[in-house]
A and B are shown apart, each in its own frame.
Chain A
Amino acid sequence: MIRLISGLGRIVIEFGEDIGQVGILFFKAIASLRRPPFYFHTWFVQMLEVGNRSLPVVLVTSLFSGMVFALQSWQGFARFGATEMTGTVVAIAITREMVPVLASLMVAGRAGSAMAAEIGTMVVTEQVDALRTMGTDPIEYLAVPRLIATSVMLPVVVMIGDLVGIYGGYLVVVKLMGGGEVTYWQRTWEFLMMSDVTSGLIKAAVFGLIIALFGCVRGFNTTGGAQGVGRATTGAVVGGSMGILISNFFLTKLLIG
């Protein structure tokens, strides 16, 4: 029990420390965007990297989230004979909440951890120092491309995830439960608002930023050897995930208005 509490305490303290550094890195990155050099090629490479790493897991996550959510809603609506509303609820829940959050959590595990590992390895092998001695700013060269890549690519993969999630709902409702195909699509498009989708995409962009910020902060703070890199990696995933879940509340509040 004491172990549990102290473990929890440590996570909270580490998260608090990270927040400060995340803020500093964020402002340094913004500042560096106001003057050259810009490593556009590296930005592009990182975007591909993030896209490649996250698309497969996001597709699977979205498909099954859509399916499960459709199954649950169908059961719920069946209690008062409103199963034809399933399509609507699936579409709203998928686009506003489920895909942005779940996909981002998955990407934190895939891309955020990889960033911490890459940068952490570069720190412990003095490659980051070598960059500095050659007059290259590690923030511009390593952090900025990653921040840009995740905040641009997450909305893209979430957009695709939205479609796949809604399609998952369709599979369950129409193919599994025998709901009407026309009704499903009608109910989906009739009530789905542009703002449902855009609010989810805005969230995705912010979550992407958070993932990369934690990945980079943990990477740059790596000390020790391989063990330190391991700690940085898990730290990036834990920090990024907490950041996503906590900021999600405030973002939702903000976006609902």
Chain B
Amino acid sequence: MDDDVFISVEGLHKSFSSQRVLRGVDLSIARGESMVVIGGSGSGKSVLIKHVIGLLDPDEGQVRVEGQAVGELNRTGLSDLRRRMGMLFQYAALFDSMNVGENVAFALRQHTKMKDAEIKDRVEEVLTWVGLEGLEEKWPAELSGGMKKRVGLARAIALGPEIMLYDEPTTGLDPILADQINDLIIDLNERLHVTSISITHDMVSAYKIADRIAMLYRGKIEEIGTPEQIQGSSNPVIQQFIHGRAEGPITGR
């Protein structure tokens, strides 16, 4: 792994009223790296990546992209940074007033001078990548959960981002589709040198797509390492989680 730190999370704290969700998260991600964050439901994984793209402001600490603190960017700085990022939301967050094609085309229309025909081609292309070719005219309400997820993914990658944030990219997909999405994520990382942070509960996917895996536990990074290191970890918290056992230190049994 090279030392070129691209994204760094430094002592990040975040609470919602009295609930302390993040209690000092430290994490650094190299350019081109695929970082996977695992952790229990409600452990704050979604909250963590929302800080990376400036949807939430830290109570303490910060997230830096290329050394620049995201929370301190002005309007235009933040907007420019966001154009270099794509985010797949956990529940897809498709615009329900637009059909699939318009959803995917949204950022292209907003931020490029591409002609309608070029946009149409690009939309077709990214929809093919996620296995949904020809569904441009469908409405979000007509799609299954897994289809929405993939449209969300297509929308996030349409603009060709340098940084991708995936919030549970394979949840709700059958194993074959899940693997296709894994391949797509790997492809983006390898061919287009995308730097990514993925959140997942799907350990098969985590081992496959990760350069490194970090586990979020009790508001901090419990351990971080390559898939092999994580699998071979002697930390009982890690062992319980990756093997999905009901008994262990996490559950206190």
Contact = CB atoms under 8 A, between A and B. Distances in A.
Interface string A77-116: 0000000000000000000000000000000000000000
Contact of B89 (A122, A126, A135): A126
Size bracket of the B interface: 20 to 34
B213 interface: no
B91 A126 contact: yes
Contacts of A136: 106, 110
A96 B85 CA distance: 53
Contacts of B204: none
A126 B83 contact: no
A132 B55 contact: yes
B89 A130 contact: yes
A9 interface: no
Contacts of B86: 133
B111 A133 contact: no
B95 A135 contact: no
A129 interface: yes
A132 B91 contact: no
A196 interface: no
A143 to B, nearest CB: 15
B107 A135 contact: yes
A52 to B, nearest CB: 16
Nearest to B107: A134
Given A126-B93, A127-B94, A129-B93, A135 B55 contact: no
Nearest to B56: A129
Nearest to A32: B75
Interface residues of A, number: 16
A125 B111 contact: no
Contact of B83 (A122, A125, A130, A135): A135
B79 interface: yes
B73 to A, nearest CB: 12
Most buried by B among A118, A131, A133: A133
A76 interface: no
Contacts of B79: 135, 137
A135 B75 CA distance: 10
A2 B75 CA distance: 47
Contacts of B96: 121, 125, 127
Contacts of B218: none
A133 B95 contact: no
B107 A129 contact: no
B87 A125 contact: no
B82 A134 contact: yes
Given A37-B110, A129-B55, A135 B82 contact: yes
Contact of B95 (A37, A130, A132, A137): A130
B53 interface: yes
Interface in B1-54: 50, 53-54
Contact of B93 (A118, A127, A135): A127
A118 B96 CA distance: 10
A130 to B, nearest CB: 4
A130 B82 contact: no
A125 B91 contact: yes
A127 B92 CA distance: 9
Given A135-B79, A135-B82, A137-B79, A130 B110 contact: no
B85 A133 contact: yes
The 6 closest A-B pairs by CB, nearest first: A126-B93, A130-B93, A135-B82, A133-B87, A134-B107, A135-B79
Interface of A: 37, 118, 121-122, 125-127, 129-137
11 contacts: A125-B93, A127-B95, A129-B89, A129-B93, A130-B87, A130-B93, A131-B95, A132-B55, A132-B82, A133-B86, A133-B87
